[in-house]
Amino acid sequence: MKVTIVGAGAVGASCAEYIAIKNFAEEVVILDIKEGFAEGKAMDLMQTASLNYFDTQITGITNDYGKTSNSDVCVITSGIPRKPGMTREELIGINAGIVKSVSANLLEHSPNTILIVVSNPMDTMTYLVHKTTGIPKNRIIGMGGALDSARFKYRLAEALSAPISDIDGMVIGGHSDKGMIPLIRLATRNSVPVTAFLSEERLEKVAADTKVGGATLTGLLGTSAWYAPGAAVSEMVKAIALDSHKMFPVSALLEGEYDLNDISIGVPVTLGKIGIEKIVKINLTESEKTKMQESAVAVKKTNGLLAL
Ligand code: NAI
C-alpha cells in the first residue's frame, strides 16, 4: 500500500509516524508546500525505523505531486489549525482553497485513490471535496468521529476509573464543539452500559468534556492536537489497507440515511479496501435524532459559506 499525506505539519507527521509504526504500508509520501519541510520530517522519521522496527519507506517532497502517483490512500491535513479561542469553522476561508487545489492535484496523479479529509472545518471540507471532485462517495472519508470517540472513551475511563481497553463508545454528528453527539446510551464497560455505573450528572460532564476535547487541548498547547488525530487517521488507513471491515464514525455523504441529504457528517460506517463499504444504520432515540438534525443544520450553515 502507498499512502500520501499532504501537510507535513503536526497532524500529518504524527499520522505518518503511526502508520509506519503499525508497519502495514510499504510506502508513505509526505508532501508540503514549505520548502524542505516534508523532506526533513521524513528523514527524521526514517531515522526512527531501526529503533521502532518498521520497514515502511517514508519520503518527503516539496509540492511535487508526480511523486504521489498511484497512491492507494491520500490523507489531506494541509491547512491552518485552530489557535486558542477559535472555532474550527473560522478556518474555512483559507482551508477551502487549500483543500480544493490539493484534492485536484492528488487525483490528477492517483485517479483511483481514496481521500481522507482531516483539515477543518472537516465536515465542510469533506463536502467540498465531494462537490468539486465528483469521485464516488465511498472514496471520500472525513476524519473526526474516530478522534472524538477516542476522546469520549478517555473521558469515560476517567469517570469510571477503568482501563480504557474496557470501554466502548462512539461519537456521531458534526465534528464541532456544539455539533458532536457522544452516544452515552450505547457506551459500555465490558458490555455493561455505562449508565449502570455513572449518574446522569456525571455522564453529562463526560459528554461536555468530550465535546470540548479539541478546544481544551488547543488552550493547553496553543495550537490544535496531533497525537490522537494522527493515531485516528492511521487506524482508518489500516482498516482500508487490511480490508478489515472495521466500523468507525466518519464524515460520509448522506443521501437519505439518518433522514439527511446533501451533507457530509459523522455516521458509523465500515471501512475496507474500497473505502466506505456501507453506512451503518443505528436506531436513534427521538432526542438523539433531534441532536443529529440540529448538528446537520450547523454543518449546512458552514457549507453555505463555500463558494461552490
Ligand atoms: P500545521 O500548521 O502543523 O500543519 C499544516 C501543514 O500544511 C503546514 O506544514 C503547511 O505548510 C501545510 N500546507 C499549507 N498549505 C498547503 C498546501 N497548499 N499544500 C501542501 N501543504 C500545505 O497544522 P496541523 O496541526 O497539522 O493541522 C492541520 C489541519 O488539520 C488543520 O486544519 C486542523 O484544524 C486540522 N485538524 C483536524 C482534526 C480532525 O479531527 N479532523 C484534528 C486536528 C487537526
Q: How far is the CA of 14 from the centre of ligand 1 (A)?
A: 11
51 has a pLDDT exceeding 90: yes
**pLDDT at residue 193, rounded to an integer:** 98
Per-domain boundaries in the chain: 2-143
Residue of 109, 130, 175, 245 marked catalytic = 175
Q: How far is the CA of 78 from the centre of ligand 1 (A)?
A: 4
172 forms beta bridges with 181
Report pLDDT digits (tens) over 266-297.
Answer: 999 999 999 999 999 999 999 999 999 999 99
83 has a pLDDT exceeding 90: no
HSE (CB half, 13 Å, CA atoms) of 46?
Answer: 15
User: Whose Cα sits closest to atom 21 in ligand 1?
Assistant: 32
The amino acid occupying position 190 is N
CATH number, domain 2-143 = 3.40.50.720
Residue list, ligand 1 pocket, CB within 6 Å: 6-12, 31-34, 37, 77-82, 91, 95, 98, 102, 118-120, 122, 143-144, 147, 175, 223-226, 229
* Global confidence as pTM: 0.98
Cα–Cα dist 267/200, whole Å = 24
First to last CA, the chain: 33
Which residues have CB under 8 Å from 214's CB, separation 6+?
82, 88, 151, 177, 224, 225
Query: Residues 105-128: what's their mean pLDDT?
Result: 98
Q: How far is the CA of 38 from the centre of ligand 1 (A)?
A: 13
Q: How far is the CA of 109 from the centre of ligand 1 (A)?
A: 21
Concerning whether 130 is annotated as a catalytic residue, the answer is: no
**pLDDT at residue 87, rounded to an integer:** 87
Residue 95 banded pLDDT, cuts 50, 70, 90? very high
Q: How far is the CA of 96 from the centre of ligand 1 (A)?
A: 12
Residue 191 banded pLDDT, cuts 50, 70, 90? very high
Share above pLDDT 70 across residues of the chain, in percent, rounded to a whole number: 100
**pLDDT at residue 86, rounded to an integer:** 87
Q: How far is the CA of 105 from the centre of ligand 1 (A)?
A: 17
For residue 80, which of 158, 9, 153, 179 has the smallest C-alpha distance?
Answer: 9
Mutate to test the pocket of ligand 1, among 17, 37, 78 (most ligand atoms within 8 A of CB): 78
Q: In what order do the strands lie in the sheet with 192-193?
A: 167-168, 188-189, 192-193
Mutate to test the pocket of ligand 1, among 172, 224, 265 (most ligand atoms within 8 A of CB): 224
Question: Do the beta carbons of residue 216 and residue 226 sit within 8 Å?
Answer: no
User: Whose Cα sits closest to atom 17 in ligand 1?
Assistant: 33
Mutate to test the pocket of ligand 1, among 14, 32, 94 (most ligand atoms within 8 A of CB): 32
**pLDDT at residue 82, rounded to an integer:** 85
Work out the mean pLDDT of the chain and round it to a whole number. Answer: 97
Question: Do the beta carbons of residue 27 and residue 54 sit within 8 Å?
Answer: no
Q: Which long-range contacts (CB under 8 A, 24 or more apart) does 187-192 make?
A: 187/152, 187/156, 189/156, 189/160, 189/162, 190/166
Report pLDDT digits (tens) over 9-42.
Answer: 999 999 999 999 999 999 999 999 999 999 999 9
Query: Residues 58-73: what's their mean pLDDT?
Result: 98
User: Whose Cα sits closest to atom 29 in ligand 1?
Assistant: 119
141 has a pLDDT exceeding 90: yes
